[in-house]
């Protein structure tokens, strides 16, 4: 139990200027608990009052944003780790060896373990806590924050030292509580998923590192970390912030689970309406993930994956994907059979074989997607949609590749040809990667999908520009003239695909009739793609002649 004593101290009043005495209460300061180990061999100047390190003086711990509050913790921890790492880097210095009498091998093993623990904490802190945005006062001091040598490195200040330099704060714990209140007041500003799981473990990990350091601290005289850091960790651990973060994370998890459950209920309702895949349903009855074209309102299949035989049989039934399937499946089968080697005496050139292989891949993957679009299993349906995009990407790259191959037939330009063929491969590879990004298949990003495939096609401008430079613009145009009809077919089909014509202009009566077989814009687009593939294949025979009639 503390006692208080009074003693008069002289002071001069403002009214009469007479020196008088007034009683002043002198209260002994409470002793604060220290989590750190005692530092044996502290230098004498550690006992004197010394300025706070710039890292603590310039750090603004009062903030209305929880992001800045947690960033303050991040800054303190990373500052401590940086200082400690610099000390450990001198584990072979004569000063450190002479202080504790430890052997070099002991110091190496001890320092290596400490550095591993330190780096693990630093990586997790950097990943879990928000980054600290430097204030102007802190940025102005950064040039002075150099790391001195071990012999001239001052010890970390004790908690009493910190308190002596905080005249406006009666109690550090009160200041910390205010800090944590700021966190609680605006928790909506931060991403709670990582701090909520990481914060409870941080004090234990700091303590584990300090326990390891204490093995050599008494022998080597290495000082303990800042008491303010430990006090902040202690206050944070004992406050309601961690519990609040965890509770909010649980609420977010429950919200996601509710969304998943809601989506599952929609799927169950749609399956029930479709009589387990036996009848067609309307667009309004589809779950959100299955809605691709709001202008096609009738004729949708919704077949559970376990009834896969109904999905296969739907190839021979009427619904809004019937023509979309067969406008690509039938040409793929006919061209595939026609490409069997033993049915023909003469094999086409390698570029033509590669082009037709990717064309068949595009057509077949499209037929599979439109067949699986009626599957009630979302993952399977979406995977087939993304495979369809992959086929489109390779068809575009192969089309450009034939122009490159035959445009640079002169042996002196083989290096250029190989470079552009590599570019074609990279564009095809991009067509493999982007479709599997989460956003790519969403309807709201439909315009970006179209722009992506147009970008792949526009990659052909680079080799055409080089051909113009090597020969002439007229010679280049004469060379590519055979493929112009196929380009026009692609563009015409793309216009129907992008505008949803004609179904967006049809009356509900005619739209419902068209939906019975799938005779909308997508079917028209398919027909133009088949026409373009056929035209490009025929143009390859003229591309073989090379530019300006050059052919090897």
Query: Which residue reads 């403002």 in tokens?
Result: 14
Query: Which residue reads 């005619």 in tokens?
Result: 510
* Cα→Cα distances 48→169, 453, 543, Å: 21, 71, 88
CA distance 493 to 485: 12
Q: How many residues does the chain have?
A: 552
Query: Which residue reads 């601290």 in tokens?
Result: 217
Structure tokens at 61: 């711990």
3-state SS class at 155: coil
Report H helices in 443-504: 446-458, 461-470, 473-480, 484-499
CA distance 549 to 547: 5
Query: Which residue reads 């919704």 in tokens?
Result: 302
CA distance 255 to 49: 53
* 499 within 8 A of 521, measured Cβ to Cβ: yes
Structure tokens at 403: 């122009």
Residue 549, sorted as left (phi over 0), alpha (psi -120 to 50) or beta, turns out to be left
CA distance 442 to 249: 27
Helix 104-128, helix 202-220: angle, nearest 10: 160
CA distance 57 to 141: 10
3-state SS class at 284: helix
Radius of gyration of the chain (CA): 37
Q: Is 370 labelled a binding residue?
A: yes
In sequence order, what are the beta bridge partners of 8?
23
Q: Is 526 labelled a binding residue?
A: yes
Q: Is 522 labelled a binding residue?
A: yes
Structure tokens at 50: 């010394």
CA distance 497 to 328: 15
Binding residues for Zn(2+): 370, 522, 526
| Binding residue positions | 370, 522, 526
């Amino acid at each position: 139990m503390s006692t208080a004593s009074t003693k008069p101290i002289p002071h001069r009043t403002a009214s009469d200027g007479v020196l008088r005495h007034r009683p002043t209460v002198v209260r002994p300061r409470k002793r604060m608990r220290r989590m750190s180990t005692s530092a044996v061999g502290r230098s004498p100047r550690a006992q004197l009052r010394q300025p706070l390190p710039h890292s603590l003086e310039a750090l603004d711990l009062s903030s209305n944003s929880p992001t800045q509050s947690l960033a303050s913790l991040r800054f303190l921890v990373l500052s401590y780790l940086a200082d400690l790492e610099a000390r450990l880097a001198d584990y072979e210095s004569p000063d450190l060896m002479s202080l504790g009498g430890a052997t070099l091998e002991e110091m190496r093993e001890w320092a290596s373990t400490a550095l591993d623990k330190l780096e693990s904490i630093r990586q997790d802190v950097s990943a879990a806590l928000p980054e600290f945005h430097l204030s102007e006062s802190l940025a102005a001091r950064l040039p002075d924050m150099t790391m001195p040598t071990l012999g001239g490195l001052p010890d970390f200040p004790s908690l009493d030292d910190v308190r002596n330099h905080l005249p406006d704060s009666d109690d550090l714990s009160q200041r910390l509580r205010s800090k944590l209140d700021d966190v609680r007041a605006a928790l909506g500003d931060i991403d709670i998923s990582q701090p909520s799981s990481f914060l409870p473990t941080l004090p234990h990990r700091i303590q584990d590192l300090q326990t390891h350091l204490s093995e050599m601290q008494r022998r080597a005289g290495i000082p303990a970390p800042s008491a303010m850091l430990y006090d902040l960790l202690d206050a944070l651990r004992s406050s309601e912030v961690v519990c609040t973060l965890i509770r909010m994370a649980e609420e977010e998890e429950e919200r996601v689970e509710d969304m998943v459950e809601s989506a599952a209920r929609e799927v169950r309702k749609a399956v029930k309406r479709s009589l387990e895949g036996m009848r067609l349903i309307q667009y309004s009855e589809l779950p959100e993930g299955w809605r691709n074209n709001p202008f096609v309102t009738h004729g949708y299949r919704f077949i559970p994956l376990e009834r896969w035989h109904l999905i296969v049989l739907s190839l021979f039934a009427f619904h809004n994907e019937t023509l979309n399937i067969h406008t690509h499946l039938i040409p793929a089968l006919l061209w595939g059979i026609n490409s069997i080697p033993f049915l023909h005496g003469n094999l086409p050139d390698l570029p033509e074989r590669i082009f037709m292989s990717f064309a068949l891949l595009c057509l077949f993957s499209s037929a599979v997607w439109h067949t699986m679009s009626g599957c009630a299993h979302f993952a399977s349906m979406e995977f087939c949609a993304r495979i369809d995009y992959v086929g489109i990407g390779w068809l575009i790259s192969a089309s450009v590749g034939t122009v490159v191959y035959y445009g640079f037939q002169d042996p002196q330009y083989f290096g250029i040809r190989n470079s552009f063929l590599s570019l074609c491969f990279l564009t095809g590879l991009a067509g493999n990667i982007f479709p599997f990004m989460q956003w790519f298949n969403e309807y709201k990003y439909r315009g970006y999908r179209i722009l992506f495939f147009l970008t792949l096609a526009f990659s052909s401008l680079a080799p055409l520009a080089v051909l113009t430079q090597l020969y002439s613009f007229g010679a280049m145009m004469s060379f590519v003239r055979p493929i112009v009809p196929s380009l026009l077919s692609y563009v015409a089909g793309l216009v129907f695909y992008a505008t949803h014509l004609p179904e967006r202009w049809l009356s509900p009566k005619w739209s419902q009739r068209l939906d019975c077989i799938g005779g909308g814009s997508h079917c028209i687009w398919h027909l133009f793609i088949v026409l373009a593939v056929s035209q490009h294949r025929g143009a390859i025979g003229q591309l073989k002649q090379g530019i300006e009639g050059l052919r090897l």
